[in-house]
Structure formats: C-alpha cells, structure tokens
Amino acid sequence: FVEAVEALAAQYGLEVPRERLSPKQQVQQQIKQKKQHDLYDVMHLVAKFYRHQLRDHPHSAEAKNYLKQRGLSPEIAKTYVIGFAPAGWNSLLQGLKADEKLKQQLVEVGMLVEKEGGKNYDRFRHRIMFPIRDGRGRVVAFGGRVLGDEQPKYLNSPETPIFHKSNALYGLYEMRQTRE
C-alpha cells in the first residue's frame, strides 16, 4: 500500500506527508534511504552484467537456444532484461571488478554467498536470469533457471533490505508499461 501511494505521489510530483521525526531519526532515515539507493544501483549493475553476458559471453549460445526453444524472442528478452549467469564461482565478482565495498553490497543483496573464512561465491551460476522489479521498475532480486541438470532447477534471491518476496510480483512492472 505504501509503495502504491508513493508511486502515485511521484507520478503527480507530490510529496507523501510523513510523521514528524526527531533530528536523530531524520538522519537515521536518510542513511537508510541512501543505503537502499546504493543497493538498487548495485542490482541495476548486476542486471546489466547478466544482460551483457547473454549477448556476448562465449558460452551464451546454450542460453539463447533455451530461450528460443521456450518461445522467447530477443525482443521479449530485452523487455524483461533477461540475462545469463555464466558457469563459475566468481564470474560476477570478476565481471564487475568488485572492490570490498561492492563485494559487501553484493552479499547484502544476495548475489554473493559468504562462506566461513570470508570467501565469497556467486549464488547464481549457469542460469537464465530473470530480474524481479518493484513497482518503480528498480531491480530488487533475481530468479534463475538452471540450464543443465543441476539442482535446484529454479533459484530465487533471498529476502534482503530491498526485496521482500511477499511484496513482489514478477512481471507486474513490465505489464504496467504495456498499458501506458
């Protein structure tokens, strides 16, 4: 509900009235909003990376063939920003040339899994990647479909500061775009 009110207000250039916060609470809220904004930027970067991999990775032919067999045209793949996560344990880290800050953000948004000892690895490997967007079109999570016989067949992002499964419906943003 809050997201719907905020979306309508943004559409008409209005500001949603908020409860009065103390100066300390205002600063805390601004920090939280800045951090969330940064995480949305990270997810946008990840979506671009996966999209680029589908287009240009040397092993993306299998992914393209899978999409074609399932009846997904290149136009649909572009509309839904469908991508490809290559096989390998650190394709995302290497592809984004992640520094320590970005690495921590990737862990926070569920794109990397942190093992004991501080080692990280890509959560999604050898999969077709489906970005999940919020009502504003921001990428908040991913769903991935494996290309081989590995398990699990489908893998979704975990709950994060910007993604709550009960608040997301895949394809809603794209559907709204076709009505405008």
> Which is it for the CA torsion 13, 16, 21, 26, positive or negative?
negative
Lowest mean pLDDT across 36-40, 154-158, 162-166: 36-40
The fraction of the chain above a pLDDT of 90, given in percent, is: 63
Measured distance between the N- and C-terminal CA atoms of the chain, rounded to whole angstroms: 21
The fraction of the chain above a pLDDT of 70, given in percent, is: 88
pLDDT tens digits, 99-108: 999 999 999 9
149 has pLDDT over 90: no
CA distance 88 to 84: 12
Q: Which residues, 6 or more positions from 161, have their beta carbon under 8 angstroms from its beta carbon?
A: 35, 36, 39, 108, 109
CA distance 167 to 70: 28
Most trustworthy range by pLDDT among 76-80, 139-143, 160-164: 139-143
Crossing angle between the packed helical segments 100-108 and 23-56, to the nearest 10 degrees: 90
Q: Which residues, 6 or more positions from 10, have their beta carbon under 8 angstroms from its beta carbon?
A: 136
CB atoms within 10 A of CB 108: 17
